[in-house]
Amino acid sequence: MPQYDAIVIGSGQAGNPLSQKLADRGWAVALIEREHLGGTCVNTGCTPTKTMIASAQVAHYARNADKWGVRAGEVRVDLSGVVARKDRVVEQWRSGQERKVQERKALHLYRGHARFIGPHQVRVGEEVLESERIFIDTGTRPDIPLLEGLGGVDSLDNASIMRLTEVPDHLLVLGGGYVGLEFGQMFRRFGSRVTIVHRAQQLLPREDADVAGSLQHALEGEGLRFVLGATTTRAEKQDGQVALTVEAGGTTETVRGSHLLVATGRRPNTDDLGLQDAGVQTDRRGFIRVNSRLETSVPGVWALGDVKGGPAFTHISFNDYQIVYANLNEGKALTTDNRLVPYAVFTDPQLGRVGLTEKEARAAGRRLKVGTIPMAWVARAIERDETAGLMKLVVDADTDRILGAAILATEGGELVQILHAVMLAGAPYTLLKGAIYIHPTLAEGFWTLMEQVKPVD
């Protein structure tokens, strides 16, 4: 039975860097991966989707070139070419990961499915590996809802939709979260009609209504249709199309399309890991229970990334790796407590977010100052003719520290990182009023935003 200093199950954005860094310290490490190195982010998540979003943005600019005084002519999207470009970018990252693993003699890659047969024993194919330290980074997969008739229709998920080589005539999207919105706008820009059916009364229900409403307005301006507050009761084939029976606003309607994307959430890849044989506890949905140090119920077993639940972002997975590695090898006592997590929705305009929303801050009983400006007040946005969206800041009225921010704008995810840094420094928002901003830039809008921060009831 091969003995290792560490076994890492899954090569996502926590498992991959952790296995490499431990090997660099001289640990004998077994890395187990049943599919491609890099996990969801590299293969079916961040990398391919943002690559295709870039192609969709080019199509959007070309189709609207007249707005900038440019005559582009007829725009035709070659989806097979878009997919080929996406595949090249994915392969570039994937092969880079393969090379990094192969370069490390102390790192042994096992191809296959891992299953616990004891607290510190894992079977891969015919081999049984053993270690006192095991790290689980198996991620998640699409969670397909129990919807009558869904099994009888051809549906797509976030991976299979990126293998299409012809633009759908009419894409139905079940779910209005990050995945549904990003793919919905992408395929609208490729040339599809798009209808998004969403259970909640507003898009992105966690966000403030003014932020979500501004994004919805921008997307509707591009021709996306939304059915909100909707309960979908049935899916079926009708005359060669997919038909969804939807109840919303006291009425029932049938929504028809040529293709259906199911984007209703994710579930953990834990049901076939043999966790019960190891004694590793999960919650009712199958996510692995961990403490603030990412330790499971079994000593010497950790869970990192999406498989443990919580914010499902690549940067959280990477931070999980940083915490575990530092605690193991640098004598630190880092935890996940009070992590300040920025995130983005890669629509256009892009939503960059950090900290509390206004409604969350109000619910916490804070005395607040709030400032909001439309992007139409920002010179650079006007010059680019990209004025959709807004900037919003939520401030603690007693300390003048930033509690949260939403930047719905071109490259909102980049802009919000400035506010994230100010929050990490514990500095008051007034620090940004005294800054000198390059003119003309989108960040220059922060000065105007700070001027609008006022106490609210």
Please check whether residue 376 is in contact with residue 383, taking contact to mean a CB–CB distance below 8 angstroms. no
Strand pairing partners for 227? 197
Rounded to 10 deg, the angle between the 15-24 and 79-102 helix axes is 30
Task: Give Cα 269 distance to the centre of its chain.
Answer: 17
Closest among 135, 107, 65 to 296, alpha carbons compared = 135
Active site residues: 439
Spatial neighbors of 285 by CB under 8 A, at least 6 apart, are 267, 268, 309
What does the alpha-carbon distance between residue 46 and residue 54 come to, in Å, rounded to a whole number?
12
What is the rounded distance in angstroms from the CA atom of residue 334 to the CA atom of residue 183? 36
* DSSP assignments along 241-296, one per residue: EEEEEEEETTEEEEEEESEEEE-S-EEETTTTTTHHHHT--B-TTSPBP--TT-B-
User: Around Cβ 174, how many Cβ atoms within 10 Å?
Assistant: 27
State the Cα–Cα distance between residues 395 and 410, nearest whole angstrom.
Answer: 23
Measured between alpha carbons, how far is 90 from 48 in angstroms, rounded to an integer?
A: 6
How far is C-alpha 11 from the chain's CA centre?
18
φ, ψ at 267 (rounded to 5°)? -130, 150
Of 274, 271, 273, 272, nearest in space to 284 by CA: 271
The conformation of residue 10, written as its DSSP 8-state character, comes to -
Question: What one-character DSSP code corresponds to residue 375?
Answer: G
Residue with tokens 């008051």: 428
- CA-to-CA separations, 24 to 17, 104, 245, 317, 330, in angstroms, rounded: 10, 7, 55, 20, 14
Secondary-structure breakdown of the chain: helix, strand, coil percentages, each rounded to the nearest 5: 35, 25, 40
- Other beta carbons within 10 angstroms of residue 403's beta carbon come to 24
Residue type at position 234? R
How many C-beta neighbours within 10 Å does residue 272 have? Answer: 11
